[in-house]
Structure formats: C-alpha cells, structure tokens
C-alpha cells in the first residue's frame, strides 16, 4: 500500500511539473517579440546629414517628418535632426573612411558650422521628446516652427514659431518686438524656449492683446 501511495504521489508531481513547463511555454509565446531596428547609415556632407535610401529612412520621414525625402529615396537631415537621431540610436553617421563619427566629434563640428547650436538642440530635443513635430523656420526668420501634437506638416499650419535662447542671453525690447511682428505676420504664436545651465527648458508663449 505504501509503495502504491508513493507511486501515485510521484505521478502527481510529474504531472504538475509538466503542466508548469507547458504554462511557461505558453507565457513565453504570449510575450511580445522586440525586434531591434538596424541603424540607418548616413554621411556627413558639409552642413547636412544624408541617409541612404532604405525603407527605414522613408519610415522616419513618413511617420515623424524627420528631414526632407529626396527624389532618389535618400533622406536629408539638418545637423540638429542628425544629432537627435544619433542620440535615439536610429542612425549612425559615417566619415569619409566609412567609420562612425562619435557624438562628441559631431557636436564639435556642428558648433563650428551653426551658431547657438547647443541651445537650439536642447529645445529641439525637448519638444520632440514631448511629442511635437519640429521643423526649421528660416523662411519666417525664426529657428523652428512647431506643430500641434498629432499634426504633420502638410495637414495643417504650424501653431508656433520658436526662438531658443540661453537664460543668460540679453534680449532687447526692439528684438522682442521684432520677433512678435514675425509671429503675427505669419499667423503663428511666438514661443521663447529658455535653456538653463543644466540644459532644462522653460517655455514662454506670447500672444497679442488689444487694449
């Protein structure tokens, strides 16, 4: 009787282990599989970052409106967009010898090419991280134009034009009024992006009022 009891208990334990292993297998199958996207190869050409033609590059443009999609399928990015996508691990920028350019080296080059690059980048990065699409606004005489969340260029007009400035910068009333006039003439709201020494950003939106 004792032996029969032990055999019955042994069978129960075996069944439990089998059921447990099957349950773990089912749980593993239910877990989402994370596919790591391959980094897009890019070249630094003067003051532009050009991504090779690929479905991933096209996806960057179609989904988030990074850069300009060229006729040959390549994606042209400005320096700020390039650094942002490097930081996000989406692209790798190669030099003339086909070797990756480090983020530090890229920033040094960018600072030489564009004034106020680091401050502008902090505002760009912060707004992109908040879910806004940010594009250049050179034709408006501003740094950036920013679209409402969920809105892509071409679907509607940008809501703001943004001027990034360091907190220690001095802005005269004349300069401030000039920026307001630009915003008013383009039917957009003026926003100042203030960057402090810790690279934190604070925003001030300016609107016209009639007394």
Assess whether 121 carries a catalytic annotation.
Answer: no
User: How far is it, in rounded angstroms, from Cα 21 to Cα 19?
Assistant: 6
Q: What angle do CA 82, 88, 149 make, to 5 degrees?
A: 85
189, β-bridge pairs:
160
The Cα-based distances of 172 to 52, 105, 161, 188, 210 in angstroms read: 44, 34, 19, 21, 22
- DSSP secondary structure string for all residues of 119-169: HHHHHHHHHHHTT--EEE-GGGTSSEEEPPTT--BTTB--SEEEEEEETT-
Q: How far apart are CA 160 and CA 147, in angstroms?
A: 7
> Of 84, 124, 132, 147, which is the active-site residue?
147
124 is catalytic: no
Measured CA to CA, the distance from residue 82 to residue 44 in angstroms comes to 9
Q: Give me the catalytic one of 88, 157, 166, 204.
A: 157
147 given a catalytic annotation: yes
What is the set of active-site residues? Answer: 147, 157, 188
């Amino acid at each position: 009787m004792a032996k029969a009891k032990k055999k019955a208990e042994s069978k129960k334990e075996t069944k439990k282990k089998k059921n447990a292993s099957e349950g773990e297998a089912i749980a593993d199958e239910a877990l989402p599989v994370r596919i790591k996207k391959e980094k897009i190869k890019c070249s630094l050409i003067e003051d532009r970052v050009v991504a090779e033609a690929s479905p991933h590059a096209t996806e960057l443009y179609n989904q988030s409106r990074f850069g300009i999609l060229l006729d040959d399928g390549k994606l042209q990015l400005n320096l700020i967009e390039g650094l942002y996508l490097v930081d996000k691990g989406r692209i790798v920028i190669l030099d003339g010898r086909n070797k990756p350019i480090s983020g530090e080296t890229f920033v040094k080059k960018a600072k030489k090419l564009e004034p106020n690059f680091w401050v502008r980048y902090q505002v760009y990065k912060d707004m992109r991280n908040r879910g806004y699409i940010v594009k250049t606004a050179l034709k408006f005489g501003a740094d950036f134009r920013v679209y409402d969340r969920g809105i892509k260029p071409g679907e509607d007009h940008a809501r703001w034009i943004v001027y990034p400035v360091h907190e220690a910068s001095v802005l005269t009333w004349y300069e401030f009024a000039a920026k307001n006039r630009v915003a008013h003439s383009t039917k957009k709201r003026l926003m100042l992006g203030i960057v402090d020494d810790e690279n934190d950003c604070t925003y001030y939106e300016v609107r016209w009022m009639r007394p």
